[in-house]
Amino acid sequence: MSDLQAEISRRRTFAIISHPDAGKTTLTERLLRAGGAIQLAGNVRAKGERRRTRSDWMSIERERGISVVTSVMTFEYGGCVFNLLDTPGHEDFSEDTYRTLTAVDSAVMVIDAAKGIEDRTRKLFEICRLRDIPILTFINKMDREAQDPFALLDEVSSALALDTAPATWPVGRAATFAGTYDLRERRLRVAEELPQSDPRMVALGEELELVQAALPEFDKESFDAGHLTPVFFGSAMREIGVTDLLDALVSFGPPPRAQETDTRTVHADEQAMTALVFKIQANMDPNHRDRMAFARICSGRLQRGMRLRHVRTEKQFALHTPQFFFARDRQLAEEAFAGDVVGIPNHGTLRIGDTLTDGESLRFTGVPHFAPEILRRVRLDDAMKAKKLRQALHELAEEGVVQLFRPQDGSPAIVGVVGTLQLDVLQARLAAEYGVAIGFEAVPYSLARWIEGEKNAVAGFAASNRSAMADDLDGDPVFLAGSAFMMRRAAEMNTGLSFRDTKQIG
């Protein structure tokens, strides 16, 4: 194996998905600590405790420092380099979440042992399933009253239609929860030695017989395909089961995968450097108006000082200050490898979905925009600020906070979101970062679809539906319909056109 291949094969890039309160923050902190990335419970903790209400969450997002630090965290453990990507913590589904999940090679699904599968876990899981991302399941809070492990395994498989195989088994329960038994390595991991006569050991012996008789064994191929999840039991708070999970990621967690582009499949361990921008964070430092583009390196080695090809604009991009993020600080990245995520400061040149290469012209596919489910017109209170609003909306739409639609009849901008919380975020950020106060007004449309088809046919349709036509951020035509019925009718009457609810970007 070449040095390059060796570096790449030890990368593990993953996200944690869970329902609020299941223990994502606590587990994150324990993982970072196991990797030596933090000595003290720091920012991660602060985030967990202060995010309880909606307004709290927004003020935290405004203190950009915290969310930046947690967008991606890099740490080392067991000879591997881990990149842990944070999925946004709020309850609404957002495109940001989806895009973050396009940048990982595996996901850890955290489940509260008393509550089982909850709403948001299910939603996030479905997103992972769209891309067949391998998932490891961590059943947390086994130190409290919990459901029976057999029942929990059963629930995961039936609620998610996903095969499960226990990777570890809990020793003791609730207050007497002492550790885990590793079913693959046949090894006990308990804090203090337990005599064979201990009731927990006796129970374990009986349960293991049942496990072996009744439950499937771990199958690596099904795991890689996203069809089977290994299940770990533990308590993030008491630091039980955390190393089981990390050891598993080291031994069989997927290394950086191959990715599709418009011209060919890119393999992680090839020489050519390619990277994909999947997230933009603006105004991290309000004094500087800079923007951080988060790029996942998809193949090869990135080096500081490289001149990159920015494929969308066909311009050169000099990479002066790529950065790595750790639990509490960031550092210049002298070099980084496929699987790593680096932050690239820029002034708006880089956009979500952009491909960067060391020369080749190709574009990564698979990062979509979703048709928004909620549309609102932006009402500006101070007409003097129209120009500023225009610029601000453009920037925030580029960052992916909302989608922006400019009606072709020249009326004020319409914004589209997938969840209503995004509207609150837009309003708060316009006020805080741009000093622009806005309100929202209802529009007579409930659906937006991208129109694709032969050029003249699209133009003809647009001309006869002018009041319901808008251009998106890239200038692509969008049809706004008042109801699903009207959308269906438009599609039936214009069979040469496609009305799409997603759009590829990049």
Nearer to ligand GDP, 144 or 227 (CB): 144
- CA neighbor of 461 nearest in space, from 481, 473, 479, 448: 479
Residue closer to ligand GDP by CB (options 144, 312) is: 144
Say how far apart CA 13 and CA 106 lie, in whole Å.
7
Q: Report in angstroms how near the CB of residue 71 gets to ligand GDP at its nearest.
A: 15
Q: How far is the CB of 502 from ligand GDP (least distance, A)?
A: 29
Q: In 247-402, which ranges are E strands? A: 259-260, 265-266, 274-282, 291-299, 301-303, 307-310, 315-318, 323-325, 330-332, 335-337, 341-346, 355-357, 368-370, 374-380
Work out the number of other CB atoms within 10 angstroms of the CB of residue 446. 16
Angle at 159 between CA 155 and CA 165, to 5 degrees: 55
Residue 306 three-state SS: coil
- Given the DSSP bridges, would you call strands 355-357 and 403-407 parallel, antiparallel or unpaired? unpaired
Backbone angles phi, psi at 290, to 5 degrees: -90, 165
Residue 23 or 300 having the CB closest to ligand GDP? 23
Closer to ligand GDP by CB, 25 or 494: give it.
Answer: 25
The annotation status of 22 as a binding-site residue, yes or no, is: yes
User: Least distance from C-beta 34 to ligand GDP, angstroms?
Assistant: 15
The helix or strand, by DSSP H or E, that contains position 75, with its residue range, turns out to be: strand 72-77
In whole angstroms, how close is the CB of 152 to ligand GDP at the nearest point?
14
DSSP 25-71: HHHHHHHHHHTTS-SS--HHHHHHHH-SSHHHHHHHHHSHHHHHHHH
- 469 annotated ligand binder: no
* Nearest distance in Å: CB 54, ligand GDP: 14
Q: How far is the CB of 64 from ligand GDP (least distance, A)?
A: 19
Cβ closest to ligand GDP, residue 90 vs residue 406: 90
User: Does 446 belong to an annotated binding site?
Assistant: no
Q: Which CB sits closer to ligand GDP, 45 or 312?
A: 45
Q: Consult the annotation and say whether 19 binds a ligand.
A: yes
Binding residue per annotation — 20? Answer: yes
Q: Is 143 annotated as a binding residue?
A: yes
> Cα separation of 506 and 503, whole Å?
10
Using DSSP, state whether 438 is helix, strand or coil: strand
Q: Write out the two tokens for 198.
A: 């201990």
Q: Report the nearest approach of ligand GDP to the CB of residue 168 (Å).
A: 15
Residues that bind ligand GDP (CB under 6 A): 18, 20-26, 48, 140-141, 143-144, 235-237
* Cβ proximity to ligand GDP, 74 vs 140, nearer residue: 140
What token pair was written down for 72? 């991606």
Coil, strand, or helix at residue 10? coil
Closer CB to ligand GDP, 48 or 407, in the complex? 48
Instruction: Give the span between the Cα atoms of 9 and 14, in whole angstroms.
Output: 14
CB of 237 to ligand GDP, least distance (A): 3
Residue 55 assigned as binding residue: no
Please name every residue paired with 85 in a beta bridge, in sequence order, or none if there are none. 15, 72
Torsion angles phi and psi, residue 14, rounded to 5: -145, 170
Q: Is the dihedral of CA 469, 472, 477, 478 positive or negative?
A: negative
| 23 marked ligand binding residue | yes
21 is in an annotated binding site: yes
- Binding site members: 18-25, 86-90, 140-143
Binding-site annotation, residues for GTP: 18-25, 86-90, 140-143
